[in-house]
Amino acid sequence: MPPDLPAAAPAVALEAGGRLITLKWHQLRRRRQDPAFARGNLAAALAAGATVEVDLVATADGDFVCLHELTLECETTGCGAVAGHSSAAVLALRQRDNAGEPLDSHVLGFSELVDIVRSHRLPGRPHGQIQLDLKEPLAGITGEVCRRFARELGDLGGWFTLSGPSWPAIARLAVAVPGLATGFDPEDAIEAGMASHDVPRHLLET
């Protein structure tokens, strides 16, 4: 942490070689032991100016929920494909902690996430502070998904960056919110066996 911050403050950056390196709270985890997508950590991040990452998966009725996997078993008390359940059904499920034990908290929905940002944002510094990591493949980015995404995001697009491993899916969804910052992660190509020396070219070409 920069030395001018008290030790108890949330870590938002590291100083190294005269540079300030921003830290990203992966899956809204402020600390390694935190459960994924903890609501309180989002509010704390916004107050501290931290950058955070949240995964998105689409439900059967075109909504987004904050989950990393396309199935429910690992992260929630439900089972089956996320895409096979309505938003209301998924949001009624309880989250699981890092050991797989059920928590008292329910699944975090995209609309609730946006509401938290709207309520806790500080004036004048959006800069794509919340990274939306799109896990939904291209086939799941339907017209209804795009419409609901744009409606929920409203005028807060500047606070978000949309990225993920499928550039076609990112591009299709980003069109719904003009000016939304986008990014690309070649994770799918790497997991499919792409040689490491080919990854930079693939990334740049994409």
pTM attached to this predicted model:
0.90
pLDDT digit string, tens, across residues 134-173: 999 999 999 999 999 999 999 999 999 999 999 999 999 9
Q: Quote the CA–CA distance of 142 and 62 in Å, as a whole number.
A: 7
Q: Quote the CA–CA distance of 93 and 87 in Å, as a whole number.
A: 10
Task: Report pLDDT for 206.
Answer: 86
Q: Residues of the chain whose pLDDT is less than 70?
A: 1-9, 125
Q: In the numeric block, which tokens belong to residue 110?
A: 């995209």
In sequence order, the 6+-apart residues with CB closer than 8 A to the CB of 195 are none
Q: How far is CA 119 from the centre of its chain?
A: 18
Task: Report pLDDT for 198.
Answer: 92
Task: Report pLDDT for 122.
Answer: 80
Task: Report pLDDT for 42.
Answer: 94
Q: Quote the CA–CA distance of 205 and 167 in Å, as a whole number.
A: 11
Task: Report pLDDT for 3.
Answer: 45
Using alpha carbons, list the distances in angstroms from residue 136 to 60, 62, 140, 165, 167.
Answer: 12, 11, 6, 9, 11
